[in-house]
Structure 1
Amino acid sequence: MPHPSSFDLFGLAFLLEILFLLVISSGVALMAVRYQRKYLERELVLQKRELAAQKELLAATVQVQEKERRRIGKDLHDEIGALLSTMRLSVHQGTIEEGEQQDELAVKGLIDRMLANVRRISKELLPSTLERFGLEKAIEELCVQEDSSQIPERFFKLTGKPFPIPKQMELSLFRVTQELMANSLAHACANNLWVSLHYGEHAVELTVLDDGNGFELPEVLGIDAGSQAMGLKNLKSRISLLNGTIDFQSQSGEGVRTQIRVPVPNHSQQS
């Protein structure tokens, strides 16, 4: 029986090596294809999530704008409009006669009330205190009661040393405070309302607390929860734009505590 030559053995070994390399290459290529496919699928999922988040944020922003327009329109219609209608009716019925001091004082009183409401609405739209004196003074002003008999009684507390923060952050925190206070004043039936603002080392923290009706969070955040859930989502969207966090703590009959934390990196360089 003839023995295989060294050339045949070398050729066989070479072929086996080639086959081995082909198998390894095919395996590597297959793994690369699978990895690339998973990577693309993951990127697609992230893009869809990002697009959905952007749409939700845009919808929330539009809703907030529309809500603000409706609120302004309602204030103008219900308060200014009603006062003007009363004045017009008084003039039309001839109840204001020249020289009658009592009627003159009544008209002046109506005008004063109308001007006060105009100033209030204007201040809510363009918070001049925020522009001139900063967030802490603007929020403190929100807590000032024109009438000591007003319910709920409002309290403001400032801790930490205030430092400059970006204007958009100031405005967003101010608007969120406005909305949280408005919710407590309108719906909570609270006796007391506390607002605290803390300037920390790397963040600004805001807490709004009332002792009103409260609500059950799972119910409010449910699918069919309605406008109240959307309002909370709108607040979350605003704070998320600042890379901050917002936490709601509440139970029925135990009031609502809202805690907000917004990071302010390198604030020492801004001061």
Structure 2
Amino acid sequence: MTFHHIDFYRHLLNKLKVGIVIMDEDRRIHYVNEKGQRMTGWEVGEKVPYCTYCQSRTVLDGQERCLLATEESMDYFQAEMPVYQGKYMPFEMRLSSMHLQDGKKMMVLMIKDPSEKETRQVRKLLIQETLLAQEAERKRISQELHDVIGQNVFSIYLGLQSLRPVINQTQYCSLYEKMEELLLRTITDLKQMSKKLRPPSLDMLGLNSAIEAMIDEWKSLYDVDITFKTDLKSERLDNVTELTLYRVIQECLHNAIRHGEANRIIIQLYEYGQYVYFRVCDNGKGFEYHPDLEAKGLGIRHMRERLQSVAGELVIESQTGGPTVIDGYVTIKSG
């Protein structure tokens, strides 16, 4: 193996979100990645210290005190380990061993900080609560537009119509017609805005019907062929899951038509086990996808965060010239 390859693998290990410690049978550390060093303070050449359990357990003469050195592998265990300045930290760990060509046995210890798992869970809940709050506000504004502002504008329209018989002069007739046309257009716009903020079909009829209504809306505005194939076994999913899938597919269509200039789109939605999968393919101009794009634009990041909030994920495949394929899934709540 060349130095170039060694540097590459060292760089790769340093990018991992878990601590990696490679030690020999005497617990002597031969390698520790940056994450592991930050978590433990251990250095190459030192011995991995005994955990609190091994420090206190009873051993026979000649028996190895450290359990790690006596096992070939351990899938999962928790232990408190000495770290910086004599402090102890609880870690989740996994052990595997490898035998080198010269017969030496080396052990690979993967270390996780349990608090990071809690932090990820809290962040997931915060995202979910934020999205639900946003949707509740969308629903409230939608109802206000329809029930209050929409009705007020329609009342103005009716009042204007009552003046029509008494308007005789040509110049005022022309002005009246322009005002009437503007009010009718405003009423139509308010209805469209209300639907986009919170589609009533999603609450009343479910995900499939809401997606079909959304497709009809796009097709009425753009010259685009959209095919929708669905194989959902459940008549209704829980509100959060339906809303998440609807918003993500809505964003996919928006990006494909507005940015990708696609005129052919296929949407697939199917259920398998405890998951609902979706795929959106388009023949648009595509783009060179890179994870850094998610930091620059909110659309992709918001889609991913929505899906992750319901134990899902997003995968994007695209290139300049197209096509673009977006796959994703959500986990269905049991019961």
Q: TM-score, normalised by structure 1?
A: 0.63
> Partner of 1:177: helix, strand, or coil?
helix
Higher strand share: 2
Kindly tell me: are residues 112 and 197 of structure 1, through their superposed partners in 2, closer, same or farther at Cα, counting changes over 3 Å?
farther
Number of residue pairs the alignment of both structures matches = 218
1:244 counterpart = 2:312: yes
Kindly tell me: are residues 136 and 248 of structure 1, through their superposed partners in 2, closer, same or farther at Cα, counting changes over 3 Å?
same
Give how far 1:205 is off. Answer: 2.2
Aligned with 1:37 (options 62, 77, 81): 81
> Partner of 1:137: helix, strand, or coil?
helix
Partner of 1:111: 183
Report the more deviating stretch, 39-48 or 57-66.
57-66
Give how far 1:238 is off. Answer: 1.3
Kept after mapping to 2: 8 A contact 1:236/1:246: yes
* Contiguous gaps of at least 5 residues in structure 1: 1-21, 85-96
Kindly tell me: are residues 31 and 190 of structure 1, through their superposed partners in 2, closer, same or farther at Cα, counting changes over 3 Å?
same
Letter paired with 1:177? I
What value does the CA root-mean-square deviation take over the aligned residues? 4.1
Give how far 1:61 is off. Answer: 7.5
Letter paired with 1:172? T
Kindly tell me: are residues 153 and 114 of structure 1, through their superposed partners in 2, closer, same or farther at Cα, counting changes over 3 Å?
farther
> For residues 221-268 of structure 1, what are the alpha-carbon distances to aligned partners after superposition, in whole Å with 9 as ceiling and x for unaligned?
12x76433x4323222211222223221111111321122223365xx
Partner of 1:24: 59
Q: Which residues of 2 match residues 109-188 of structure 1 at below 5 A?
A: 109-145=181-217, 148=220, 150-188=222-260
Kindly tell me: are residues 42 and 127 of structure 1, through their superposed partners in 2, closer, same or farther at Cα, counting changes over 3 Å?
same
> For residues 14-44 of structure 1, what are the alpha-carbon distances to aligned partners after superposition, in whole Å with 9 as ceiling and x for unaligned?
xxxxxxxx98369889638x95317944257
Kept after mapping to 2: 8 A contact 1:188/1:255: no
Kept after mapping to 1: 8 A contact 2:207/2:236: no
Higher helix share: 1
Kindly tell me: are residues 151 and 118 of structure 1, through their superposed partners in 2, closer, same or farther at Cα, counting changes over 3 Å?
same
Partner of 1:262: 330
In 2, Cα distance between the equivalents of 1:194 and 1:29? 62
Kindly tell me: are residues 172 and 103 of structure 1, through their superposed partners in 2, closer, same or farther at Cα, counting changes over 3 Å?
same
Give how far 1:182 is off. Answer: 1.9
Q: Percent of pairs identical after alignment?
A: 25
> Partner of 2:91: helix, strand, or coil?
helix
Kindly tell me: are residues 148 and 134 of structure 1, through their superposed partners in 2, closer, same or farther at Cα, counting changes over 3 Å?
closer
Aligned with 2:269 (options 176, 180, 197): 197
| Structure with higher RCO (Cα < 8 A, 6+ apart) | 1
Kept after mapping to 2: 8 A contact 1:145/1:154: no
> For residues 126-161 of structure 1, what are the alpha-carbon distances to aligned partners after superposition, in whole Å with 9 as ceiling and x for unaligned?
221011100000011110047657243433233354
Q: TM-score, normalised by structure 2?
A: 0.52
Letter paired with 2:194? S
Letter paired with 1:37? M
In 1, Cα distance between the equivalents of 2:306 and 2:236? 20
Kept after mapping to 1: 8 A contact 2:227/2:265: yes
Give how far 1:49 is off. Answer: 4.9
In 1, Cα distance between the equivalents of 2:281 and 2:194? 26
Kept after mapping to 2: 8 A contact 1:163/1:199: no
Partner of 2:300: 232
1:98 counterpart = 2:167: yes
> For residues 28-81 of structure 1, what are the alpha-carbon distances to aligned partners after superposition, in whole Å with 9 as ceiling and x for unaligned?
89638x953179442572313542564487479869959x98xx9xxx9xxx9x
Aligned with 2:321 (options 230, 253, 258): 253
In 1, Cα distance between the equivalents of 2:218 and 2:288? 32
> For residues 100-124 of structure 1, what are the alpha-carbon distances to aligned partners after superposition, in whole Å with 9 as ceiling and x for unaligned?
5554333222212211111111112
Report the more deviating stretch, 34-43 or 98-107.
34-43
Kept after mapping to 2: 8 A contact 1:210/1:257: yes
Letter paired with 1:245? E
Q: Which residues of 2 match residues 14-93 of structure 1 at below 5 A?
A: 24=59, 31=66, 35-37=79-81, 40-43=89-92, 45-51=113-119, 54-55=122-123, 58=126
> Partner of 1:212: helix, strand, or coil?
coil
> Partner of 1:144: helix, strand, or coil?
helix
> Partner of 1:178: helix, strand, or coil?
helix
